[in-house]
Amino acid sequence: MEKTVSEAIAYRRSTRVYTDEPIDSNKVKQCLVNASLAPTSSNLQLWEFYHITSKAVLDKIAIACFDQSAAKTAKQLVVVVTRKDLWRKRANANIEFLNKVYDKPDLSERDLKRKKMATNYYKKLIPTIYLDFLGILGYIKFLVFQIVGLFKPIYRQTRLSDMRIVAHKSAGLAAQNFMTSMAAVGYDTCPMEGSDTLRVKQILDLPRGAEINMIISCGIRDDKGIYGPRFRIPFDEVYFEV
C-alpha cells in the first residue's frame, strides 16, 4: 500500500548507496507522471524528464556525476531538464487547449470573458515577458518595468537570468513531486546538483536551450547509504507568522 503524503515526506532521505535490487521502470514512470502534475509558472511546463534505464547511459552519466556513489550505485536515473526555449510552443499548446475547452455553442458571458482573458494572456502577455534577443531585450524590459514599478506594482522578472530562475523553480517542484511519489511506493532517490552539466547534455544529446535542473538517482536504499540522522535548522528559526 502506498504511503500517505506525510509518511512519504518523512520516509524520503537522500540515498547515497543503493542495494542491487532492481526497480520497476513502470512505477518510476508513473512517479514521473506525478512530477508532470506539479504547478508551473503560467502553466508553460518548460520541463522535460529523461528517464535513464540503459546501463550504458547510466554508466556515462555516473561518470559525469563525478562518480559519486549515489549515481554509481543507482539502478535508474532521472534527469530533470528546463526548456525555457520552448515557451512559444508551450504557449500555443495552452491556446489550443483553451480553444478545445471553450469549443461549445452558446458560451456564457462569463466563459467568453474567461476565454478572451486567458487567450490574451498567452498571445500577448507571455510574449511580452518571454521574447528576448541575446538577453538585451529582457534587460531593456527590466529597466522599463523598474520605472513603471515606481508608480504601481509590476512584474519584474524579465531578464534572461530571471527567466532561468522561473523555469528552474517550476522544474524543482516537479522534481520534489517525483521524489515524494517514489518514497510513497517505497523507492529511494537522491537529488544531485554535483554533475558536469555540459557533459550530461552531450550524453543526452540535448539542444542548446536545455538546462539540467537536477539529476535524481533512483533505487532501493542500502542502510549505509543514509548518511546519519536527518538534520534541519530548528523550525522556529525558519518559521515566521506575519
Taking the least distance from each CB to ligand FMN, the nearer of 56 and 233 is 233
Q: How far is the CB of 69 from ligand FMN (least distance, A)?
A: 8
Q: How far is the CB of 138 from ligand FMN (least distance, A)?
A: 25
Among 17, 64, 70, 126, binds ligand FMN (CB under 6 A): 70
Taking the least distance from each CB to ligand FMN, the nearer of 126 and 204 is 204
The conformation of residue 221, written as its DSSP 8-state character, comes to B
Taking the least distance from each CB to ligand FMN, the nearer of 158 and 189 is 189
Among 8, 14, 81, 122, binds ligand FMN (CB under 6 A): 14
Q: Helix H segments across the chain?
A: 5-11, 25-35, 55-64, 69-72, 87-101, 109-120, 126-130, 136-148, 160-184, 197-204, 235-238
What number of chain residues touch ligand FMN (CB under 6 A)? 12
Of 45, 48, 54, give the one whose Cα is nearest residue 76: 54
Binding mask 141-180 for ligand FMN (x = CB under 6 A): ----------------------------------------
**Residues contacting 241, CB < 8 A, separation 6+:** none
83 binds ligand FMN (CB under 6 A): no
**Residues contacting 23, CB < 8 A, separation 6+:** 75, 76, 187, 218, 219, 220
Site stretch for ligand FMN (CB under 6 A), options 79-87, 142-150, 161-169, 184-192: 184-192
Q: How far is the CB of 50 from ligand FMN (least distance, A)?
A: 17
80 binds ligand FMN (CB under 6 A): no
Taking the least distance from each CB to ligand FMN, the nearer of 34 and 68 is 68
Of 12, 15, 32, 19, give the one whose Cα is nearest residue 186: 12
96 binds ligand FMN (CB under 6 A): no
* Helix (H) / strand (E) containing 46: none
User: d(Cα 161, Cα 184) in Å, to the nearest integer?
Assistant: 35
193 binds ligand FMN (CB under 6 A): yes
Give yes or no for a contact between 188 and 15, defined as CB atoms under 8 angstroms apart. Answer: yes
Taking the least distance from each CB to ligand FMN, the nearer of 110 and 232 is 232
88 binds ligand FMN (CB under 6 A): no
Interior angle at CA 220, CA 219 and CA 221, nearest 5? 115
Indicate the residue whose CB is closest to ligand FMN: 194
210 φ, ψ (degrees, to nearest 5): -80, 145
Residues that bind ligand FMN (CB under 6 A): 13-14, 16, 68, 70, 190-194, 214, 230
